[in-house]
Amino acid sequence: MSDIKKVVLAYSGGLDTSVIAKWLQTEYNCEVVTFTADLGQGEEVEPARAKAEALGIKEIYIDDLREEFARDFVFPMFRANTIYEGEYLLGTSIARPLISKRLIEIANETGADAIAHGATGKGNDQVRFELGAYALKPGVKVIAPWREWDLNSREKLMAYCDEHNIHVEKKKGKKSPYSMDANLLHISYEGDLIEDPWAEPEEDMWLWSVSPENAPDEATYLNITFKNGDPVAIDGVDKSPATIMEELNKLAGANGIGRVDIVENRYVGMKARGCYETPAGTVLLKAHRAIESITLDREAAHLKDSLMPKYAELIYNGYWWSPERKMLQAAIDETQSVVNGEVRLKLYKGNVIVVGRKSDDSLFDEAIATFEDDAGAYDQKDAEGFIKLNALRLRTAAKKGRDLL
């Protein structure tokens, strides 16, 4: 355990990663650099500085990554209308590659030879952190204390704190019993009461959204403008990527939108119950599909749909920094230069309802689509040949006695 000289730790300032910082200093006898990121989780990150200093940390990184996160990770992912297993919007998954990237950048800047994280050995996050780190710095060492130590309960952690004089802030009010993660895209809940897939979550678990029942009785209407496949304005006012996420989280959360409650398949092989609040994401996915519906070519849209499950799987499994994700991104991005225009939405008690879409790049051609006289824009007689040739192989098969029933 002695050949590591300096390790960059993904540090939240909380109990677990504070213990890890001390444990790394003690067990590995190495210097620890802390890295704390504001990804929009809704908690101050500055307080992490004093905590790190109290642990004797000399190199402390505290970064506001909100804009980069929204612009370079969330939005590119949303161009693909990405959903994992039909339900999950990948809120945690998409944050990990950015953290890996910064961990490695900091390792390079500080001359560290290792990184460390506080993810457990049963989850996906260890995989995501480490695949990213290895892909960006192949010789890096990775320390995952939860796979090594025996401090596997809150009691043991607290005892360790006492023993090593780590000051743990008592949170006001009841501590949530859930394992949580939050960023601009979502907040997640796992463990405790919701480990049983038959148990309905209690209302007070949810932190970011009101329930549909408690949402306003009046609908909220809003317009979202897209440019090159990305949202750029709300109600005609241009906003930065992170601001769009923040405002939509508020608007949608207040209307009871974005709760997801699923059993998902982890990359490490087990099924796990997860609950998520993704207010902005839920709105943006719906809006993005709507603006694509009038601007995207049919076959491009279908090809995107057929590639999406693979793309979602790659992100979920931690392969953001991989050649195959870049291939799919290239295909997806190729289509988005025409995905421009405006979508009108109605938010109401958990519902996101598209009520209008318009675009200068619209391929919707009223002259052709109309039930009224189309003045020759479309020759209905063409349909006969179209059908006849598409049917030819089926007819030939049927003539030869093939039974297609």
Q: Which residues are annotated as a binding site?
A: 10-18, 37, 88, 93, 118, 120, 124-125, 128, 179, 188, 264, 276
Q: Which residues are annotated as a binding site for L-aspartate?
A: 120, 124-125
Q: Does 262 bind a copy of itself (CB under 8 A)?
A: yes
Q: State the nearest-atom distance from the C-beta of 197 to a copy of itself, in Å.
A: 5
Task: Please give the Cα distance from 359 to 175 (Å, whole number).
Answer: 48
Total binding residues toward a copy of itself, as defined by CB under 8 A: 134
Q: Does 383 bind a copy of itself (CB under 8 A)?
A: yes
173, 236, 269, 376: which one contacts a copy of itself (CB under 8 A)?
Answer: 269
3-class DSSP state of 401 = coil
- ∠ CA 31-34-37, nearest 5°, is 165
For a copy of itself, what does the binding mask look like between residues 136 and 175, x meaning CB under 8 A?
xxxx----x-xx----xx----------------------
Q: Does 237 bind a copy of itself (CB under 8 A)?
A: no
For a copy of itself, what does the binding mask look like between residues 10 and 49, x meaning CB under 8 A?
----------------------------------------
**First-residue to last-residue Cα distance in the chain:** 67
Task: Please give the Cα distance from 358 to 151 (Å, whole number).
Answer: 57
As a residue count, the chain comes to 405
Using the contact rule CB under 8 A, the part of the chain among 14-22, 61-69, 194-202, 225-233 near a copy of itself is 194-202
**Residue owning tokens 């953001």:** 320
Q: Where are the beta strands (DSSP E) in 19-80?
A: 31-38, 59-64
196 an active-site residue?
no
Backbone angles phi, psi at 339, to 5 degrees: -85, 75
Residue 170 or 389 with smaller CB distance to a copy of itself = 389
CB 28 within 8 A of CB 4: yes
337 an active-site residue?
no
Nearest in space to 249 (alpha carbons), one of 264, 234, 228? 234
361 an active-site residue?
no
3, 44, 155, 299: which one contacts a copy of itself (CB under 8 A)?
Answer: 299
Q: State the nearest-atom distance from the C-beta of 49 to a copy of itself, in Å.
A: 28
Q: Does 223 bind a copy of itself (CB under 8 A)?
A: no
CB 61 within 8 A of CB 35: yes
196, 204, 236, 375: which one contacts a copy of itself (CB under 8 A)?
Answer: 196
Number of other CB atoms surrounding residue 56 within 10 Å: 11
Backbone angles phi, psi at 181, to 5 degrees: -145, 140
179 an active-site residue?
yes
- ∠ CA 297-298-304, nearest 5°, is 90
Q: Does 50 bind a copy of itself (CB under 8 A)?
A: no
Q: Does 375 bind a copy of itself (CB under 8 A)?
A: no
Q: Which residues are annotated as a binding site for L-citrulline?
A: 88, 93, 124, 128, 179, 188, 264, 276
Q: Which residues pair with 188 in a beta bridge?
A: 181, 276
**3-state DSSP helix/strand/coil % of the chain, to nearest 5:** 45, 20, 40
Q: Does 53 bind a copy of itself (CB under 8 A)?
A: no
CA 269 from chain centre, in angstroms, equals: 20
Interface of this chain with a copy of itself, residues 324 to 353, rule: CB under 8 A: 324, 326-328, 330-335, 338, 344, 346, 348-351, 353
Q: Tell me the catalytic residues.
A: 16, 96, 125, 179
